């Protein structure tokens, strides 16, 4: 808190060519002076050690330089700023005593020598805006919310009025569910979202973890409301966001090992939110699940729900060994309803990350619904498993051997076992994250086979020397695949790309999805490719990819009436 504005600071004013005169400068009370080019005015301010002083000089028609000197006469600092208008002042008194503030209007010749200009005369206004003692400056500040929730503020006022009961608040929360979603007046593009935790006497902290996190983890720590059982965090999100999240009470509050391992025991779904994500087993508890939230305006996902009134396709399980890769993997092959081995060849979809695209993304259900609705032609889908996570990390980022495996081993196997097209225009390769960049690279290397690339949140940040976390950083170049497309002649390829607005580089190591995806899109458009690009209000998760998979298929292989225009 600043010292009382009425407390005056004694200032001794000297002006070149004038007799000295005593003047008083009060915090918040400006002083106006006329000054000519070449003149210097000096103000002396008595300060205690550690005092903070803030002020401003408003230059009116003449340039006025500013500097401050310590009690022993040495220069403490110069104050930069514009040559006209307001020049701000701020400094800390390193010791007690009289400090001298020098305001100097350079001569016309001096200004010209420095490449500027100066007028013969003008005026200035100098004022002290604030003075704080060291103790005042170091005083702990009360917790202030970055964003405020009307519901939390109403409860805060109730408590301040003497009613500390939170029962009615929690009853309302039980009826509405969590997180609390509140509009922001005059700002339709964003929505206020408040996460809640009902504390026990043992609660020491609560962290919110989710696919929407775009800042450091400390930005997502809950705050306790007064001495109540209400812990909360309010954030702003784009309207229409869809995201998964978890809560971690008594969190280890670090992401570094070994202590961070404790989070595996504390993290859980939101007990106040009945909508679960990532746990399909009937025996799953909130400790096995995340929670999900869909803000008003979230795009519908009509194709993910099974419809018992339409026929269902069939999923066969297989294994395929690779001489090129020296490994073996599982395959799941979807065939559409009424599949006929001796009929007309079917359109083909090759999709990475088999397990996720059978569980988190219900691919067979999506295909059943799209085919029944006439949005896409009947197609066969080959879902490719990863032998291990390490193998995935080696094979899916641009890997010539893996792309050749698809072209020379997998596709011949598929043609030998199923009636599928050889037309690249009806053959789509698809995936998300590393799978997305793998699909794009497969198209680049084997456009004679794959004519359509469906890329969901592709890892276009990847480069050979920028490939691993946490070692990768912004000193290495990202975007290797975009450079390959720049060097390549235009190929017979069509693209679907999507990315989430929360997929930004929050660590500063260049490992983002959104910005490299936009760059890749622009490179492809500059090369005159057909590109369908969609941006969704969420992060890097299957919760959104399960919706955009259908959008991408409609755009790339849908019936003529179903296809949207490209960008």
pLDDT at position 256, please?
Answer: 85
Tell me how far apart the alpha carbons of residues 106 and 118 are, in angstroms, rounded to a whole number.
7
Helices 434-445 and 480-487: crossing angle, nearest 10°? 20
Residues 384 and 525 in one domain: yes
Residue in 477, 459, 325, 298 with CA at minimum distance from that of residue 388: 325
Task: Identify whether 117 is part of a domain.
Answer: yes
DSSP string for residues in 80-132: ---SSEEEEEEEE-SSSEEEEEEEE---HHHHHHTT----SEEEEEEEEEEEE
Residues 126 and 159 in one domain: no
Task: Identify whether 563 is part of a domain.
Answer: no
Residues 454 and 314 in one domain: yes
Helices within 228-288 (DSSP H only): 263-266
Query: Which ranges of the chain have pLDDT less than 50?
Result: 1-22
pLDDT at position 181, please?
Answer: 98
Number of domains in the chain: 3
- The phi, psi pair for 58, rounded to 5°, reads -95, 110
Tell me how far apart the alpha carbons of residues 187 and 147 are, in angstroms, rounded to a whole number.
14
Domain stop point among 80, 106, 138: 138
Task: Identify whether 565 is part of a domain.
Answer: no
Domain stop point among 239, 261, 294: 294
Cis geometry, peptide bond prior to residue 179 (ω within 30 degrees of 0): yes
Report yes or no: 451 and 493 within 8 Å, Cβ to Cβ. yes
Number of other residues whose CB lies within 10 A of the CB of residue 432 = 32
Q: Is 169 strand, coil or helix?
A: helix
Task: Identify whether 143 is part of a domain.
Answer: no
Residues 335 and 275 in one domain: no
Task: Identify whether 1 is part of a domain.
Answer: no
pLDDT at position 17, please?
Answer: 37
In angstroms, the Cα distances linking 417 to 167, 328, 341, 411, 413 are: 64, 18, 9, 10, 6
Tell me how far apart the alpha carbons of residues 149 and 143 are, in angstroms, rounded to a whole number.
15
pLDDT at position 15, please?
Answer: 42
Tell me how far apart the alpha carbons of residues 144 and 152 are, in angstroms, rounded to a whole number.
13
Report yes or no: 295 and 243 within 8 Å, Cβ to Cβ. no
pLDDT at position 483, please?
Answer: 98
Beta partners for residue 104, in sequence order: 40, 65
Residues 128 and 226 in one domain: no
What's the CATH code of the domain at 258? Answer: 2.60.40.10
Tell me how far apart the alpha carbons of residues 278 and 210 are, in angstroms, rounded to a whole number.
13
pLDDT at position 109, please?
Answer: 95
Domain stop point among 116, 138, 160: 138
Residues 242 and 333 in one domain: no
What's the CATH code of the domain at 81? Answer: 2.60.120.380
Alpha carbon 213 to its chain centroid, in Å, reads: 6
Report yes or no: 559 and 377 within 8 Å, Cβ to Cβ. yes
Helices within 147-267 (DSSP H only): 150-160, 167-176, 263-266
Task: Identify whether 2 is part of a domain.
Answer: no
Q: Range of 192's domain?
A: 150-294
Residues 278 and 362 in one domain: no
pLDDT at position 205, please?
Answer: 96
Residues 491 and 353 in one domain: yes
pLDDT at position 11, please?
Answer: 43
Tokens, residue 370: 């799209």
Tell me how far apart the alpha carbons of residues 437 and 455 are, in angstroms, rounded to a whole number.
7
DSSP string for residues in 311-357: ---EEEEEEEEETTTTEEEEEEEEE-TT--TTSSPBEEEEEE-TTTT
Residues 402 and 479 in one domain: yes
Task: Identify whether 270 is part of a domain.
Answer: yes
Report yes or no: 177 and 274 within 8 Å, Cβ to Cβ. yes
Task: Identify whether 566 is part of a domain.
Answer: no
Residues 129 and 263 in one domain: no
Residues 177 and 157 in one domain: yes
What's the CATH code of the domain at 333? Answer: 3.40.50.1820
pLDDT at position 521, please?
Answer: 98
Residues 55 and 33 in one domain: yes
Q: Which helix or strand (DSSP H or E) is residue 413 part of?
A: helix 411-417
């Amino acid at each position: 808190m600043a010292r009382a504005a009425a407390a005056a600071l004694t200032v001794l004013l000297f002006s070149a060519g004038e007799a000295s005169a005593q003047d008083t400068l009060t915090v918040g009370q400006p002083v106006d002076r006329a000054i000519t080019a070449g003149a210097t005015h000096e103000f002396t301010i008595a300060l205690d050690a550690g005092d903070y002083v803030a002020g401003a000089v408003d230059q009116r028609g003449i340039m006025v330089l500013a500097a401050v000197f310590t009690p022993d006469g040495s220069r403490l600092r110069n104050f930069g700023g514009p040559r006209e208008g307001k020049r701000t002042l701020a400094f800390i008194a390193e010791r007690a005593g009289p400090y001298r503030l020098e305001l100097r209007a350079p001569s016309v010749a001096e200004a010209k020598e420095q490449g500027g200009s100066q007028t013969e005369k003008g005026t200035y206004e100098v004022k002290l805006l604030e003075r704080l003692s060291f103790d005042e400056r170091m005083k702990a500040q009360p917790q202030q919310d970055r964003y405020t929730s009307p519901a939390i503020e109403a409860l805060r006022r109730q408590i301040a009025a003497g009613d500390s009961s939170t029962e009615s608040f929690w009853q309302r929360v039980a009826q509405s569910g969590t997180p609390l979603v509140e509009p922001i007046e005059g700002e339709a593009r964003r929505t206020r979202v408040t996460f809640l935790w009902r504390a026990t006497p043992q609660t020491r902290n609560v962290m919110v973890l989710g696919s929407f996190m775009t800042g450091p983890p400390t930005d997502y720590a809950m705050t306790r409301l007064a001495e109540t059982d209400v812990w909360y965090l309010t954030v702003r999100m784009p309207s229409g966001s869809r995201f998964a999240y978890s809560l971690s009470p008594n969190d280890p509050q670090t992401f570094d090992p070994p202590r961070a391992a404790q989070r595996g025991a504390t993290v859980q779904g939101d007990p106040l939110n009945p909508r679960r994500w990532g746990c399909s087993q009937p025996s799953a508890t909130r400790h096995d699940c995340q929670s999900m939230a869909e803000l008003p305006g979230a795009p519908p996902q009509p194709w993910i729900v099974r419809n018992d009134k339409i026929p269902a396709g069939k999923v066969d399980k297989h294994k395929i060994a690779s001489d090129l890769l020296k490994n073996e993997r599982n395959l799941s092959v979807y065939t559409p309803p009424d599949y006929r081995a001796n009929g007309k060849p079917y359109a083909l979809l090759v999709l990475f990350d088999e397990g996720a695209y059978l569980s988190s993304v219900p691919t067979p259900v999506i295909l059943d619904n799209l085919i029944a609705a006439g949005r896409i032609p009947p197609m066969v889908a080959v879902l490719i498993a990863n032998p291990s996570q390490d193998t995935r990390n080696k094979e899916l980022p641009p890997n010539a051997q893996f792309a050749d495996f698809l072209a020379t081993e997998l596709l011949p196997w598929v043609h030998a076992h199923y009636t599928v097209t050889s037309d690249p225009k009806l053959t789509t390769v698809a995936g998300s994250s590393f799978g997305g960049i793998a699909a794009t690279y497969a198209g680049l290397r084997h456009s004679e086979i794959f004519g359509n690339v469906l890329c969901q949140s592709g890892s276009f940040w990847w480069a050979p020397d920028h490939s691993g976390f946490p070692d990768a950083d912004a000193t290495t170049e990202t975007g290797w695949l975009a450079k390959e497309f720049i060097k390549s002649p235009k190929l017979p390829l069509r693209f679907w790309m999507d990315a989430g607005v929360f997929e930004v580089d929050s660590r500063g190591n260049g490992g983002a999805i959104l910005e490299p995806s936009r760059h890749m899109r622009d490179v492809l458009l500059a090369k005159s490719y057909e590109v369908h690009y969609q941006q969704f209000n969420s992060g890097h998760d299957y919760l959104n990819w399960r919706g955009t998979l259908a959008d991408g298929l409609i755009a790339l292989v849908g019936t003529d009436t179903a296809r949207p225009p490209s960008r």
